[in-house]
A = this chain, B = another copy of it.
Amino acid sequence: MPQFLNTADAGFEQSFTALLGAKREDSPDVDAIVAGIIADVRARGDAALVELTAKFDRLELEPAQLRISDAEVDAAIADVPAEERTALELAAERIRAYHGRQMPEDAQWTDGSGATLGWRWSAVSAAGLYVPGGLASYPSSVLMNAIPAKVAGVSRLAVTVPAPDGQINPLVLLAARISGVDEIYRVGGAQAVAALAYGTESIAPVDKITGPGNAFVAAAKRRVFGKVGIDMIAGPSEILVIADKDNNPDWIALDLMSQAEHDESAQSILITDDESFGRAVAEAVDKRLETLERRAIAGASWREFGAVITVRDLDEAAALSNRIAPEHLELCVTDPVALSGKTIHAGAIFLGQYTPEAIGDYVGGPNHVLPTARSARFSSGLSVMDFLKRTTLSQLTPDSLRAIGPAAEVLAKSESLEAHGLSVTARLDALNG
């Protein structure tokens, strides 16, 4: 049974605070192991990758086989059914169109002092994308990471994907091909992250690493951060659905289960202003849990972390939503646009009953890599911005230096940074002398 809460109940605040603070993930401490793997790859390069791949993925390779050749990709994707290829292409096209609109503009202007100011965006030169193997090897994640990088203008995009027992999901290779990935390597785990960050004989280093992974991959990304950029370290997935009584309980139940089936640590919460509708959804969940393929996972998530919260009105729902700051937020209410104006902290909002969250996982267009664990209070989903950086530009004329230089001299002096001041003074003396 999920938790049933009601804001009208005396103990609500305490229960809700506990729900917010629930620790849903116990990451094993693998940091020492990961440190050893990274040191090994830095010291021995390809030789270390080959050994670690034999050990962890039961796959014997020559260094020259670390990279998956274009011919191998061709062969692997030849048998992908047309229906799946078409679906991936539609998703890619929509993701590309959405992210294309995110490209920020350069700026340049001359201010009143005569100084020319501005900034310029430029792409990261090389990026690496970690793709998990096995069960969590999702082609949709390849699209969601690779397409923003390519839209941003990353000229070299390398994918690493482990091939346990030699197996790689052909759809992952097809998604990489469709996204314009430049290089693919059959290597995984912390060793893949180390290779991307520091380079080996076969894998040139990159400047930024993104993509999901297990505890080893997450620990490795934390360790190489600084040497390269990384994306967020994602926690278990979450959905909050705010629904009034004018909804089909089964649809809402399926939306809740579409998060719960990801992971036993996932969290699905329903907020409704109609207690009996909440009960109807819970019953619909129980019914679906009788037959869902991933019912063991989804059921565990729902029993352990699921919640149905009854509120007095939708303003109260919005206030709770802002405290949850959910990764995914569905607004299944009569006027979802109005409600979305009040739900400020959320990674992605899905408006209205015809926008199930699963649309956003695949074909909506916006990114499905989103801030988890309440971090939507201060961070955003993956975007082209993650593959761009901004350089600020300043050019003063003699007149503009005369106008604003004296204030810099005063401030430098007040901070006891004499050379700072003198670098201005020497020029002003020449100009005025």
Contacts and interface: CB of A to CB of B under 8 A. Distances in A.
A396 B92 CA distance: 18
A351 B419 contact: no
Interface in A88-135: 88, 90-91, 94, 97-98, 101-102, 104, 107, 109, 111, 115-117, 119, 122, 124-125, 135
Interface stretch (A29-37, A186-194, A255-263, A304-312): A255-263
A412 interface: yes
Nearest to A143: B411
Nearest to A359: B408
Interface string A343-385: 0111111111111111111111111000101011111110101
A75 interface: no
B87 A410 contact: yes
Contacts of A393: 340, 348-349, 351, 366
A404 B356 contact: no
Given A115-B364, A363-B404, A417-B258, A229 B349 contact: no
Interface residues of A, number: 121
A385 B394 CA distance: 20
Interface stretch (A10-18, A65-73, A420-428): A420-428
Interface of A: 83-84, 86-88, 90-91, 94, 97-98, 101-102, 104, 107, 109, 111, 115-117, 119, 122, 124-125, 135, 138-140, 171, 207-208, 226, 228-229, 233, 248, 250-251, 254-255, 257-258, 260-262, 288, 292-294, 298, 336-337, 340, 344-367, 371, 373, 375-381, 383, 385, 389-398, 400-401, 404-408, 410-412, 414-424, 426-427, 430
Q: Give the 4 A-B residue pairs with the shortest CB-CB distance, closest first.
A: A229-B378, A366-B392, A351-B395, A87-B407
Given A353-B427, A358-B417, A362-B420, 19 more contacts: A87-B408, A101-B107, A116-B351, A117-B365, A125-B345, A248-B426, A251-B426, A254-B419, A261-B417, A261-B419, A352-B395, A354-B397, A358-B412, A359-B408, A361-B417, A362-B408, A379-B389, A380-B391, A381-B390
